[in-house]
Amino acid sequence: MKRLIINADDFGLTAGVTAGIVETMQHGVVSSTTAMVCLPEAGENIKRFADSVMGRIGLHLQLTDGRPCAAVATLDTLVDGDGKFPRSWRELGSCEPDQIRREWHAQIEKINGLGIQPTHIDTHHHVHRFPGIFEVYAEIAAAYGLPARALTPRMAGALRSRGALCPDYCETRWPGGQFKPEVFLTHISRAFESTEGERTIELMCHPGFCDEELESKSTYHKERHEELRSLCDPRLRDGLLEMGIELVTPLALLTQTEGVAAGMAGAR
């Protein structure tokens, strides 16, 4: 069986991004999303839009962008002099594992406080690809029983060896500036070929409505609207069906049999 998770990152980033993600989950092929909780407006954006996609929201763990959820005084290796996370992963220093652990537990508490039990985890800017951070990431995933994004088959093996659930691979190369449905389907086909077919693959995406707020926060802005339009194109769902690919949520990894969440039924 070929199973595909299409996850929209950055739920909560702006009202426009959050609304756009909901649009692709209700009327497109996006099956899940991951929420950011460390930005000032994130909580309001998440609460405003979460009800319509509840049960399909994970946590986008952060060590970049915004301010931490744990006490800043205990996180000196994670924040700058103003108590903020660095803007880019390139600015990360020697992050102390205990401080990462403290902060990520606090982020889970934060999303719980918004009335959401996260269904899965990944990280903003893929910071879990760094060895020291990865160990804490795997620990968090196993401790909470949350499926976790695996960027490569090798990472998937490492997560599973530590007791965590994960897809076999995450496709991150789409859209690369090309948003046509046929390009999307080609990437998906190649991803399954690279993992020998009968696997669960995740595709990362960043849909959203573009506005001035987004342009002030992200260099990736107009492209998000292009992604949104492509992900809502009915040719994608038809193409996936023709390829014998089942859309699922990360929760499918808990049972190995669960198909796409009931909330997607209305999008058909």
CA distance 150 to 112: 24
Q: Using alpha carbons, select from 208, 249, 202 the residue that is nearest to residue 229.
A: 208
Question: Residue 176's pLDDT is what?
Answer: 62
Q: Phi first, then psi: what are they for 8, rounded to 5°?
A: -95, 115
CA distance 193 to 2: 11
CA distance 208 to 152: 26
Structure token digits, residue 50 = 């979460």
Per-residue pLDDT tens for 237-254? 999 999 999 999 999 998
> Does residue 258 have a pLDDT over 60?
no
> Does residue 223 have a pLDDT over 90?
no
Count of domains for the chain: 1
- What's the maximum distance between 2 C-alpha atoms anywhere in the chain? 54
Q: Name 223's Cβ contacts closer than 8 Å, sequence gap at least 6.
A: 175, 177, 179, 206
CA distance 170 to 106: 26
CATH number of the CATH domain containing 221 = 3.20.20.370
Domain extent for 11: 2-267
**Mean pLDDT, the chain, integer:** 90
Q: Using alpha carbons, select from 33, 48, 88 the residue that is nearest to residue 208.
A: 33
CA distance 114 to 146: 18
Q: Name 181's Cβ contacts closer than 8 Å, sequence gap at least 6.
A: 230, 233, 235, 236, 239
Share of the chain above pLDDT 90, in %: 75
Confidence of residue 177 (pLDDT cuts 50, 70, 90): low
Confidence of residue 256 (pLDDT cuts 50, 70, 90): low
Per-residue pLDDT tens for 32-91? 999 999 998 999 999 999 999 999 999 999 999 999 999 999 999 999 999 999 999 999
pTM: 0.91
Asked if 104 and 69 touch (Cβ cutoff 8 Å), the reply is: no
